[in-house]
Amino acid sequence: MTLYLDNAATTPVRPEVLEAMAPYLTRFFGNPSSHHEVGEAAASALDDARARVAAVLGMRASDVMFTSGGTESNNAAIKGLVLGSGKTHLITTAIEHESVLASADYLRRLHGVEVTRARVDATGSLSAAALDDALRDDTALVSVGYANNEIGTVQDAATLAAVAHARGVPLHLDAVQAAGWLPLAGLGADAVTVAGHKIGAPKGTGILALRGRLPFEPLLHGGGQQRGRRSGTPDVAGAVAIARALELAEHERAGEATRVAAIREAFTARVLALLPEARVTGHPHRRLPGTASFVFPGTNGETVLLELERRGIVSSSGSACAAGSDEASHVLLAVGIAHDDARTAVRFTLPHGLSQSLDPVADALAEAVRAVGSRG
């Protein structure tokens, strides 16, 4: 039986989520914009889903917009808030998800926006001082990942928000990896991104919450649904699904984070005992509870993954959005890891509900690394 340890890439849909969304795929199938009984039932479900999401995020229901996933939400937040502001400077970092970096590059190429990648340290952390140094009078937005998808480093989001707000600049927080592991309310973020398939909802579901009446230029134009911020008939079943998944993840968050972090720490310690040449990437303490990321100098990460899969263990070398690329991870390069070592990366991302020891995984990993190293 395969042990799946690539939960940062995607997670299975939870049974409770399937149960919650099923009626809106069949019996309550109406268009929520239709002014009749069938449409109003769908609209009521959409409103309820929005309120449930807002409660977890500590925002108002009217702030919540449902999207097709994290990539759309990041694109909409960055392009929409920068273009809506009338300003021409954007701050992000070099370790962000591809959807953030590509959105920033789009604004640079086609709209003349100047993009600053604020410096992070060797753990992937963005300091308040580094952000403050990057801020300017014409800065439209700061866009930062709450937790990095490859190395798991968690940013001090509340402090970064305070630094940005002191200069009158809004903060967009990409919380795709953080949801279910870290608190999402009370951080001071002006825009928050969540992807459903990372927390037990179907792929193709997402959230972008925009606080208050921030100037925003929508990506999609048409019938003016979702306060004119995202035209198009909303996916009611998807909204119900992601709201239920987020609610469940938040309810379980504190207990799961503590328990899974302990399993990860024991796993990491065993890996380092078996493979003293290995290096842990990311922040040693301020990291996602379920993320353990390593480099194994002298090997090839993709080959180690194949050896692990032969032993019934599925993990990854980093972002699923860059899978199949021979290029070294931009995240690892940005935190100062040498190119050759960056190509040896292996990432394990653990699920909610994990209870067993990962000692057998560490043992299999040691076998895999030695097998690959002996060929080199």
- Residues with catalytic roles: 321
Q: Do 54 and 80 touch, CB atoms closer than 8 A? A: no
Using alpha carbons, select from 79, 95, 101 the residue that is nearest to residue 130.
95
Torsion angle in degrees (nearest 10) through CA of 238, 243, 248, 249: 90
What do you get for the CA distance between the two ends of the chain, in Å?
Answer: 30
Residue 341: C-alpha distances to residues 96, 296, 333, 335 (Å): 20, 7, 9, 12
Residues 6+ apart with CB under 8 A from 216: 80, 81, 84, 210, 229
- What DSSP line would sit under 28-43, residue for residue? T---TT--SHHHHHHH
Residue 352: C-alpha distances to residues 70, 241, 349 (Å): 20, 18, 10
Using alpha carbons, select from 52, 87, 312, 335 the residue that is nearest to residue 217.
87
Residues 6+ apart with CB under 8 A from 239: 45, 46, 49, 50, 66, 205
Count of alpha carbons within 13 Å of 331, Cβ hemisphere only? 29
100 burial via Cβ count (<10 Å: 0-12, 13-18, 19+): buried
Exposure b/e, 56-88, CB count within 10 A at least 16 = b: bbbbeeebbbbbbbbbbbbbbbbbbbbbbbebb
Q: Do 47 and 239 touch, CB atoms closer than 8 A? A: no
